[in-house]
Each structure stands twice: as structure tokens, then as C-alpha cells.
Amino acid sequence: MSFLTGRVLVIGLGLIGGSLARALRLRGTCKTVVGYDRDVDELETGLRLGVVDEIAFDLLAAVEQADLIVLAVPVKVMEFVLADIKPALRPDTIITDVGSVKGNVVRAAESLFGEVPERFIPGHPIAGLEKSGVAAADETLFEHHKVIITPLPHSDPEAVTLVSRMWQGVGAQVLRMDVERHDEVLAATSHLPHLLAFSLVDTLAQEQDCTDIFRYAAGGFRDFTRIAASDPTMWHDVGLANKQAILQKIDEFSNGLSRLRSAIESEDSREMLGIFTRAKASREHFTKILSGSAYTQNMTTTETTFFAQPGGKVQGSIRAPGDKSISHRSIMLGSLADGVTEVTGFLEGEDSLATLQAFRDMGVVIEGPHQGEVKIYGVGINGLQKPPRPIYVGNSGTTIRLMSGLLAGQSFDSELSGDDSLSKRPMERVAKPLRLMGAVVETGENGCPPVRIKGGQQLKAINYEMPMASAQVKSCVMLAGLYAEGETSVIEPAPTRDHTERMLRGFGYQVGVDKNKVSLSGGGSLSAAKIDVPADISSSTFFMVAAAICPDSDITLEHVGINPTRIGVINILRAMGSNLELLNEREVGGEPVADIRIRYAPLKGINIPEDQVPLAIDEFPALFIAAVCAEGETVLTGAEELRVKESDRIQAMVDGLKVLGADIEGTPDGAIIRGSEMGGGIIESHDDHRIAMSFTIAALRAKGAIEIRECANVATSFPNFVELAQQVGIQVRKEEK
Ligand SMILES: O=C(O)C1=C[C@@H](OP(=O)(O)O)[C@@H](O)[C@H](O)C1
Ligand SMILES: C=C(OP(=O)(O)O)C(=O)O
């Protein structure tokens, strides 16, 4: 292989310097790795252990011959070493360092050279161990770790590239940052936790009976204080080198700790739970950021692929996770209510979790979710606080549209944004009626997210005739109506899901319904309620269709919400000839619920009545699969709304089914689907959860295996889909990269 450079001189053969030297050597990144250290014993150990090719005793001679110099000395020593090597430095030699503070290194170089040399590229590998010394050198230390480089505006691009490639060559991921930003970020994420660990252990060690404290200290103490065993000199130096940023973080932390202290002193449970639940949520969110999944901004989500084997049948009894629409609304109304709302059966999917996080960001204390249980400490209709940053709602259309209405009535400004798919969905449909109410709302390019809302507007009631059948638009206007003067009403062109109306009533808020018109007056209040979220009929649909298309299938879906505004799928499947029974019908917290048993029966194609479309709007991807497995032709019309969901669902289904060889044609507002055989193939789900799950069940009737790409978003509505599918007999497995 070709070498990246000739001679690399590593000054300082400690853990970091030694590990880098060894990694460079073993990977053949350069011709020769030379080590220098003031401690001759360390140096000789380095040579003996094969950490370096050569060792140098004459620093200046070694510097003169070096093509790349890595300063791996303690931060405080950096300026003295720079002064030592200056006389022998060649102008073409590249220098970098590994110090965990960058401002002091840059200042030292400036005072010594007038300005930082063009070929000095400051760097900081975020890797380490509590061990020190060259004997601990580990060539894998930097693999999958981040290295931050902080080039200056006048840095030589060739030197920047070479330093980056050196780190990439030893397995690290290289990021760039400003010097100041680096020091601020590191003060918070590394320096403060280390100093706290030292301080905690030191404080406890000074207590008289400290032996007992340490003897009985279990996991928590050990986890928290692991880093107090780090190198004291190094942390002394870091403490001084990054003094200003660290002092700032210590002050912020001290304020936080004082708030917790007073909450405990005054037994303020809400404040305490607020601190703990926010911290727990952030910690979990942070773990997801690290793993690159969930509703994190600008993160590449894990690549998830489903592999479904052909054939099989489904049998058994299962409960799909909680209804997504009801879960969203439980958080919203629970937060605005007076008192504590307890929710069971909450959907722990990314969409409803995005709503939950948004309300936490607005100061609402929310415990859970834990096994579907959530406890919301309502702040009252006017109790929301300005969120500290724009609200990020991931993939969730329901969150962004409903919250736009709610935020339009607040006293503070806000901004809502989402992932790539959400950023292509139309938002003017909510912005327009809100503006008619006097709200100040801006949407992004082409009327898509972000949605920016100016607070402090007195809203006035409107009588809004909705141009499309959308429960999200209806709910948005109603939520804004809570803050408007007068009676707001919405007229729908066709009935859409009425969970907002039902739940508002459940919270004691009056809502009028007169044929296709719903109305409410602003200025009221909500009282906390108990909410039992039924299983989502939209998620249950995949298993209903699975049983409907496979001979010998018999499946029962438990505790499914069968709200009349959601049962289009039941009506359509029955019209196609399905053998579907509703058992044990009951009402739970204002919503009708039943167990649905479905057994295989041959299906026939139908013209889907248009009045069923809004009642089955999310179920069409799965119903397309049923139509392919039916005899004859199924025609869908009046469903143009499908084109503006998480993907263009008409196009995604037409394209995918054609790949499998099915007979299907798309039309502007629907599709014509003829009963046909399906083979195997590779399907793009376009990051749309419902497309991914629909093609999984298609495999039951396909002749070949189906590979479905981009399935990570199944977690938005149905996190345990693959497990439940396997449980009832579908041969599918998930691969994550
Ligand atoms: O109000 C809701 O909870 C929803 C309404 C529907 O959207 P539209 O209002 O855009 O039809 C539906 O597709 C979505 O999954 C959830
Ligand atoms: C359209 C959907 O959801 P949302 O609009 O909330 O993204 C869906 O879940 O199918």
C-alpha cells in the first residue's frame, strides 16, 4: 500500500500517543513511526513493546526529519514543547496535537509563532481509558471513536486532509468544529463530569466513616465515579486550560443542584419528578442519538431491512399496540388539563413519543411511558412554557398539525420541524385556517415544514368549511378554538375520525356535533381524566388482511378500537367477502372496543365506496394487498389524500406491486387492482411504515421471498411488528445496519 506520509514523530508516549503510534505502525499508515518522550524508561518500553519503529533521544534532530509531528503531551506542557521544537521545524512539516482543550493550544501557538502555523491542525481524539502509560497502548483505542479537528480559517487544506486521513486510517470518525465551540462542548460533556466525579469521591472520602460508605457503595456509586480514577495531573491541567468554559458549566450545574435541593427540602414532588423524568427522557433520547435511531434531527437512522419468506398462514390471538391517534391526543389534552391524567395502553412508538417529548419540552411533567402507562401532571390550559428550542417531531404528521393549532394560541413563539418525509408534507392546510383565526403562522418552502408560529395573538373563532376530509385539520382548528374568542366550528366534507371531540368531552369540555359540523367555545378548562387506549385498528389491519388472504388462517385481534369513524377497513373487507366477527363489544373510556376474529374466506374485488375512504385512510396500503389476492377487479377512487402521507402511498404501492408482478394501475385518486399472482422481489418502502408492513404480509401469498428496504419507520407506529408477525406465523426477519 502507499504510505500517507514518511516519518511520523509522536512526542509523548503515553496512552494516547502510544496507542496512535502503534495503530499507525500496525496499519502501515506511514513509513516510520518515531517516538520521543522525556521519560527514557517509557521510551524504551515503547520500543520493546513494538509501539514505535524507532526512538529518538535528540528531540531537535527528530523534529527536523519528521514529516508529521503529533504532540501527545499534557495540555499544560504543550506550549513548552512547541517552544522546544520551533527552532528545528521545517516549513513543510505538518503538526497536530491530541489535547482535550483547544483554545490554550491555539493561544500558545499564536504567542510563539505570531499566528498559528498554516500546517498546525489542532485535534482531539475523544477516546481514553483510566489507564495511562505506554504499556497500556492499544491500537484499537480510536476505532469507532470520534476525533474533533479544529482547523483555523487560514489552515492549509492539504494539512487538514492529511491529519483527517491519519485518524480515519486508525478507525476514527473525524469531525470539524470551531476552537471555542469545541471547548464549550467538551467542558459540558467531558470536563464537568470528570470534575464532579473527583469532587464527589473526595467529599465522601473526607467523611469520618468513609470506609463504610465505600464498602457498601454498589453499582450507582461505582458507575458515577469510575472516571475519578483518571490521571490527576492531566485533569489538573485541563481544569486550568479550559477554565472559563468549565466555570460556566460548574455554575449552571450548581444552580441545577440547588433547585433539586430546594425541591427535596420543600417536598415538592412535581418539581422533583420534573427533574428526574426530563433527565431520564434526555438520557434515553441521548442513547438513541448515539445509536443513530429514533426522532433525532440530522441523524441517519439505522438502515432496517425486512426479509419475508413466501407462504404460510396466520393463527393465534394478539393485541396490537395502542392507537396512535388516541395516544397523541391523550398527551396533548392531559397536558392542558387541570390535575393528573393517567393513561394506559399508550403507544410507545416514535410518533407518539415525539408528542410526549414536545410537551416535556414545554414544561409538562410526564412520568413514563412504562409498559404503556403514562402519568401526565397537567399544567392547565394556559400553563405551557416556551420550549428551549424548536420542537422536532420526527415523522409525525399528526403531531405537527395538531400542535400547530395548539401553539397558535400560546403566548410564546414556537417552531415545529420534522424528518425528510415530514418536511415534504403540506402544512398550508392547517396554516390557512389558523391565519383566518388571527394566528401568525409561516410555513417553509412549498408550504411544507418548518412551521413557525408567532405567539401572543388573540385568536378569534371561525366557521371553517374544510376543503378536504382531514381529522388532523379539523383537530388543529378545534385546538386553536380552545384559545379563541367565540364559538369555532368546522364543517367536514365527509366524516373523519372523531377522537379529539370524544376526548375533549372526556376531559369535561363541551363540544357540539350537528351532522357534519363540530363546534366548541374558547375560554374553558379541561379536567384530568383516565384514558385506556385501545389497540390501534390501523396496526391490527395488517393481521386482519393477513388472515383474510391466507387459507387456513384464523386470528383474533384483542381490544381493538372500533370507533365508527375508523372502521372502513372492516366494512371494506366484509364487502370483499371476508369472514370477520366482532366479539365482546364494549365501551372503554368513551371509545367502542371489540375483539376482532377473522378467518380465511375467498375474497372478491369491489368498487370501494368513496364514503369509506376517510374511514380507512391509513389502511389502503394493506387493502391493496387484499385486492391483489381477491378474484376480479378492485377499484379505488376519491383517495388522492393517499398521495400526501409519509410517502405517495398510491405510487409506492403501485411500484412495489409491479415489482412483484401484480396487475395494478395507479390513477390520480386511487388505483385499479386486478386479482393476480405475486412473485418475490426487492421493495422500496420509501421510509413509510405502512408500506413496509403491507409488503411483509404480501409475502404470505407471494411465490418468492420479498426483501423490503427502509423499514426503520415501522417503529413510528408499531415497534413490535416483526415480533408479533413471527408469533402468528409470518416468516419475517429484520436486519439492522
Ligand atoms: O387525526 C389523526 O390522528 C390522523 C388523521 C389522518 O390524517 P389526515 O387528517 O391527514 O387524513 C390519518 O391519516 C393519520 O394517520 C392520523
Ligand atoms: C398518515 C399517518 O400518520 P401521520 O399523518 O401522523 O404521519 C399514518 O400513520 O399512516
Nearest CA to ligand 2 atom 5: 397
Nearest ligand to the CA of 349 is 2
Residue 58 to residue 67: CA distance in whole angstroms: 16
Buried b / exposed e over 280-293, threshold 16 CB at 10 Å, is ebeeebeebbeeeb
* Residue 136: DSSP 8-state: G
**Residue 454 pLDDT more than 70?**
yes
Q: What is the mean pLDDT of residues 253-257?
A: 96
The answer to whether domain 185-267 and domain 328-532 are alike in fold is no
Q: Provide the pLDDT confidence category of residue 297 given band limits of 50, 70 and 90.
A: very low
Q: Which ligand is nearest the CA of 565, by number?
A: 1
pLDDT at 212: 73
pLDDT of residue 596: 98
When pLDDT is averaged across residues 587-603 and rounded to a whole number, the result is: 95
Q: Name the residue of 295, 323, 324, 393 to mutate for ligand 2: max ligand atoms within 8 A of Cβ.
A: 324
Q: Which residues are annotated as a binding site for phosphoenolpyruvate?
A: 324, 397, 425, 472, 649, 690
Poorest-pLDDT segment among 143-152, 271-280, 691-700 = 271-280
Q: Is the CB of 617 under 6 A from ligand 1?
A: yes
Is the pLDDT reported for residue 155 higher than 70? Answer: yes
What CATH number belongs to 328-532? 3.65.10.10
For residue 649, the ligand closest to its alpha carbon is 2
Rounded to whole angstroms, the Cα distance separating 716 from 538 reads: 13
Ligand 1 centroid to residue 471 C-alpha, Å: 5
Residue closest via CA to ligand 1's atom 3 equals 325
**Residue 625 alpha carbon to ligand 2 centre in Å:** 19
Q: What is the ipTM of this complex?
A: 0.98
Binned at pLDDT 50, 70 and 90, residue 278 comes out as confident
Query: Alpha helices, DSSP H only, in 643-713?
Result: 649-659, 689-698
Nearest CA to ligand 1 atom 13: 618
Work out the average pLDDT over 150-160. Answer: 97
Task: Give the mean model confidence (pLDDT) for residues 676-689.
Answer: 97
pLDDT tens digit sequence for 82-118: 999 999 999 999 999 999 999 999 999 999 999 999 9
Position 470 scores a pLDDT of 97
**Of 404, 490, 497, 504, best ligand 1 pocket probe by most atoms within 8 Å of the beta carbon:** 497
| pLDDT at res. 220 | 82
- In the predicted model, is pLDDT for residue 489 greater than 60? yes
8 Å CB contact between 186 and 124:
yes
List binding-site positions: 324-325, 329, 397, 425, 470, 472, 618, 645, 649, 690
The pLDDT of residue 287 is 63
**Residue 229 pLDDT level (bands cut at 50, 70, 90):** confident
Which atom of ligand 1 is least distant from the CA of 328?
A: 3
Q: Tell me the CA–centroid distance for residue 710 and ligand 1, in Å.
A: 22
Which of the residues are catalytic? 618
Residue-range domain boundaries for the chain? 5-177, 185-267, 304-317+535-736, 328-532
- Which residue numbers belong to the known binding site for 3-phosphoshikimate? 324-325, 329, 470, 472, 618, 645
Question: Residue 298: its pLDDT value, please?
Answer: 40
Question: Using an 8 Å Cβ cutoff, are 336 and 379 in contact?
Answer: yes
pLDDT at 129: 66
Residue 300 has pLDDT above 90, yes or no: no
- Rounded mean pLDDT, 609-622: 98
In DSSP notation, 699-727 reads GGGBSS-EEEE--TTHHHH-TTHHHHHHH
Which numbered atom of ligand 1 lies nearest the CA of 474? 9
Compute the distance from residue 402 Cα to the ligand 1 centre, in Å: 10
Confidence of residue 130 (pLDDT cuts 50, 70, 90): low
pLDDT digits (tens, 9 = 90+) for 38-51: 999 999 999 999 99
Mean local confidence (pLDDT), 15-29: 94
What is residue 3's predicted lDDT score, i.e. its pLDDT? 83
Q: Is residue 295 predicted with pLDDT exceeding 60?
A: no
Average pLDDT over residues 211-218: 71
AA identity, residue 726: Q
pTM of the model: 0.80
155 Cβ inside 6 Å of ligand 2: no
The verdict on the CB of residue 396 being under 6 Å from ligand 1 is no
**Considering only CA atoms, which residue is closest to atom 10 of ligand 2?**
618
User: What percentage of the chain carries pLDDT values higher than 70?
Assistant: 96
Confidence at residue 61, expressed as pLDDT on a 0 to 100 scale: 97
Question: Treating both helix axes as pointing N-terminal to C-terminal, what angle do 689-698 and 721-728 enclose, rounded to 10 degrees?
Answer: 20
Does 648 sit in the ligand 2 pocket, CB within 6 Å?
no
How many whole angstroms separate alpha carbon 719 and alpha carbon 353?
A: 12
Q: What are residue 565's phi and psi, to 5 degrees? A: -85, 5
pLDDT band with cut points at 50, 70 and 90 for residue 286: low
Instruction: Please report which ligand is nearest the Cα atom of 561.
Output: 1
Strand partners, 488: 520
CB 648 within 8 A of CB 604: no
**Mean pLDDT across the chain:** 94
Does the Cβ of 649 fall within 6 Å of ligand 2? no
The bound ligand whose nearest atom lies closest to the alpha carbon of 641 is 1
| Options 1.10.3660.10, 3.40.50.720, 3.40.50.970, 1.10.10.10; CATH of 185-267 | 1.10.3660.10
Query: 453 falls in which pLDDT band (50, 70, 90)?
Result: very high
The closest of 521, 381, 407 to 462, measured between CA atoms, is: 521
Q: What is the pLDDT of residue 292?
A: 40
Task: Report whether residue 641 contacts ligand 1, using a CB cutoff of 6 Å.
Answer: yes
Is a pLDDT exceeding 80 seen at residue 207? no
**Quick check: CB of 713 below 6 Å from ligand 2?**
no
- The three cell numbers of residue 149 are 479537528
Question: Is 670 a residue whose pLDDT tops 60?
Answer: yes
pLDDT, tens digit (0-9, with 9 covering 90-100), for 506-529: 999 999 999 999 999 999 999 999
Cβ of 472 below 6 Å from ligand 1: yes
The 10s digit of each residue's pLDDT in 315-369 is 999 999 999 999 999 999 999 999 999 999 999 999 999 999 999 999 999 999 9
Neighbours of 342 (CB within 10 A): 17
Q: CA 511, CA 589: separation in Å to the nearest integer?
A: 17
Atom number in ligand 2 closest to CA 472: 5
Task: List the CATH code of the domain at 304-317+535-736.
Answer: 3.65.10.10
Candidates 525, 578, 164; CA nearest to 379 is 525
> Given a cut of 90, is residue 289 above it in pLDDT?
no
Whether 470 is in the pocket of ligand 1, judged by its Cβ within 6 Å, is yes
Pocket perturbation via mutation, ligand 1, pick of 352, 398, 648, 690 by most ligand atoms within 8 A of CB: 398
Ligand 1 in contact with 685 (CB < 6 A)?
no
Angle between helices 350-361 and 269-291 (to 10 degrees): 130
Please answer whether residues 545 and 357 qualify as being in contact, where contact means their C-beta atoms are separated by less than 8 angstroms: no
pLDDT at 406: 98
Interval between CA 546 and ligand 2 midpoint (Å): 21
**Are 458 and 438 in contact, with CB atoms under 8 Å apart?**
yes
Q: Whose CA is nearest to atom 8 of ligand 2?
A: 618
Ligand 1 atom closest to the Cα of residue 475 is 1
**94-97 vs 120-121, strand pairing mode:** parallel
Pick the CATH number of 5-177 from 3.40.50.720, 3.40.50.970, 3.40.50.620, 3.40.50.150: 3.40.50.720
From the number of C-beta atoms within 10 Å of its C-beta (0-12, 13-18, 19+), residue 515 rates as: exposed
Determine if ligand 1 sits within 6 Å of the CB of residue 398: yes
Interatomic CA distance for residues 430 and 473, integer angstroms: 6
